[in-house]
Structure 1
């Protein structure tokens, strides 16, 4: 697991707090519990105060803060430290889940092309992709990422569009075909006219889509927040009535602690963000929590292409030839010069690099195949 600097500090505070609580319990030394109260309780108090002052937001933090303070007042410092530590663990797990999702977003951002080759007045110049304007003529060489969306005006090529579509087989492109930012030009060089600036490109829209993903818009999360507010009010009322009836502060504090809705508030957004983060890990991008929730009621899924379902690596399953060994040797020799997925499948099937024949005058014809001379 990789943690950010902030997460490492939080984790260290939780570990120290847990150790202090265990030591306090075993050695019966109450003041050790103050370590947990200070390290884990102060952040809770701060978030509670910020929510009340800036948004007048009554949530679980308020009830937890009062439960901690009340426990200290009646001398139950260990209970106060225990509450603070448990809430800190829940908060840390939620933060870590969200940071993992943000990490996937950064991977998408890193795929954004940074430079472009612009042709102006017959001369080539390297510029930042962010400086490309609509109507600029760009040159894209084999192996380069396409800087922004545009239309091919000269040349032929095959482009890996799996970043955007999930389709692993390269797509052949020729003049007047559209090309998209962040996709990879595999074979031929071409010139293109830009139709969108970098910030409006298909890849940037994809990144913004994932960045907008949030657990808060899921109905289950909104309901959890709503019920958490009700729980706070009910707990306060019950605690006050209990004290007025019994005049025992310990009973009132017990009600506040037991009513604490930490599981309700922390579990729902954490589960949603964990789902979004794990799906992104496997190349499945989800816009928001509501979409995840909707999947629970889905009976059928329709996919527009095989590349989203298959491994994306073609395999030979049968050979029809009077002399399959000779044919496959010549075919594998020729295709060994190509990087196309189907060519790789043929070479992999032959699986004998030592017997490959020498190929001369190898030529790749975009969208049509390859040619070469053997013997």
Structure 2
């Protein structure tokens, strides 16, 4: 009950009400109008009760020196001001503290929606094969050794090994790979990934909490729990501020024999400007970033970004657009030029649902090629397709698929395939009437700003690392294109986390930039997680501390400059507030300030801090 009342009083609406009554008290005081009860009493009640509650709670539950907090010092000053009848001074210090708490709470809010969405990806049912019959069972009932059947379009319910059938599996949730991965008997499949084409039978190997998806969920939860709330700078300093303030107030009383001077010392010693320094600067910086399409979720993330010396990038959807396009069209036949070869292959692939086939058809449409009629069509999941196009028997697919269908692969073709693989490209071979006639190369598209961004980070003494689930050749190719020398490829989500932890153990402050569900644990584990907001998954965006809503990775150097400027602003504001407090303490000791005028000086310091922070909003950081 007490906590509910406290939370209600500490909320934004009641804090505004307290501010209104405090202003009313100041107006009445300046106009020298006497009223039966000072309106500032309302401010004392609204803002003072949560403050007193916090101070007492910390004394009871906190350990060691953390019992002493800024809330305790301000509570003492508030009570002392009430004791000598200066209600306005009591209300003012309580209200400024309440404003600081509201601002800091707003900058520290973190969304939990992403974790819920990740949990929702866990399959709820599986198709068990028993006595040659299918039965649907709850995914929680699946045990190691069960034989399961997964049809096209279904999510794989647990980790397992294929014992029958071929398919292509969309593993983006686990590895971030932009292409479905071809699977055959003996290959492993992961919980939560999507079976795209062929029906498969699999044997369950890891179930329940041991499955890959559940491990992914646990990693996000664990990383979330490790994120400590931002500690107020005023509370860090309160361990010496409180005893020093009390000592100076006591000395002032014994030297001057004036209780009013002693209370004034306590009022001006309150670290209200100190409390405001961090949240106001952070809110201004967050507003500045928002104008540039960057959403910063917490002050802690902004501060940590300035400390980052190592940035780890995912590849697909981060350094690249995550969208495959035809990059090469190579004909091995003198009878077919590139456009004729493209027309032939695109006609056959027009019946296919495979992403590579769709990319080829889209490329043909861009070139305004007229596709030919297809009389026969057959697809072997995970291998390739057969089609009869204008009377020609056409096979399109992998090198292995063509060999299985009795088609010879000359050395020229093998060398071309090796070249494409070394460039990180996917390839589809085409054979017409038993002869290999050409190959199509497809590649993800590198973001135009990626290379310049990496170079700029290098000038800022920031190391860059590529952490990707893609194969080694593809990873090396794209890393070389942008200038990243440290490459770690073929990583599962837990391996990305392990790599980040390893870097942190080496003393690095790591920022992770990614866009997929599989990046969520790494985004949480890193000192700062940055997600691609426009194209990235909701789970990645919610797991991250910062989101690039325009997917513009050139904003990363801007983020570092903004963070550094924010930290410098906070330090300057703190120094200024301490200087004002020092001067005000001397004036209080000399009797030149009363608790009321001391509170107004106190307010002036807080206004200066807010104005300095506001300058961040329009500063240029590009």
What TM-score, normalized to structure 1? 0.74
Shift, 1:48, TM fit: 3.5
Q: 1:3 corresponds to which residue?
A: none
Shift, 1:140, TM fit: 1.5
- Alignment CA distance shift 1:120-1:93 (3 Å): same
- Alignment CA distance shift 1:294-1:354 (3 Å): closer
> Aligned match of 2:309 in 298, 304, 308?
298
Shift, 1:159, TM fit: 1.3
The answer to whether the 8 Å contact 2:182/2:383 transfers is no
Q: How does 1:188-207 map to 2 (within 5 A)?
A: 188-207=198-217
2:77 & 2:255 partners in 1: Cα distance? 19
1:31 & 1:374 partners in 2: Cα distance? 92
Deviations 1:80-99 (A, max 9, x none): 45224313323431452x2x
Indicate the SS of the match to 1:313: strand
1:131 maps onto 2:145 in alignment: no
Matched length: 349
Q: 2:443 corresponds to which residue?
A: none
2:253 & 2:226 partners in 1: Cα distance? 36
Q: 1:329 corresponds to which residue?
A: 343
2:46 & 2:376 partners in 1: Cα distance? 72
Q: How does 1:1-375 map to 2 (within 5 A)?
A: 10-17=11-18, 33-56=40-63, 57-58=66-67, 59-73=69-83, 74-75=86-87, 76-96=89-109, 98=110, 100=111, 102-214=112-224, 227-246=237-256, 247=259, 248-258=261-271, 262=275, 296=307, 298-299=309-310, 301=312, 309-321=319-331, 322-351=336-365, 355-375=370-390
- Alignment CA distance shift 1:189-1:245 (3 Å): farther
1:86 & 1:222 partners in 2: Cα distance? 13
Shift, 1:224, TM fit: 8.7
Shift, 1:15, TM fit: 4.8
Indicate the SS of the match to 1:345: helix
Deviations 1:252-279 (A, max 9, x none): 33244237753588799x99xx9xxx9x
1:215 & 1:135 partners in 2: Cα distance? 34
The answer to whether the 8 Å contact 1:180/1:202 transfers is yes
Gaps of 5+ in 2: 1-6, 30-34, 295-299, 391-622
- Alignment CA distance shift 1:33-1:138 (3 Å): farther
RMSD of the TM alignment (CA)? 4.2
What TM-score, normalized to structure 2? 0.48
- Alignment CA distance shift 1:47-1:316 (3 Å): same
Q: Which has the higher contact order (CA 8 A, sep 6+)?
A: 2
Deviations 1:169-195 (A, max 9, x none): 111111221111221111112122222
The answer to whether the 8 Å contact 2:145/2:204 transfers is yes
Query: Which has the greater radius of gyration?
Result: 2
Gaps of 5+ in 1: 1-5, 283-288
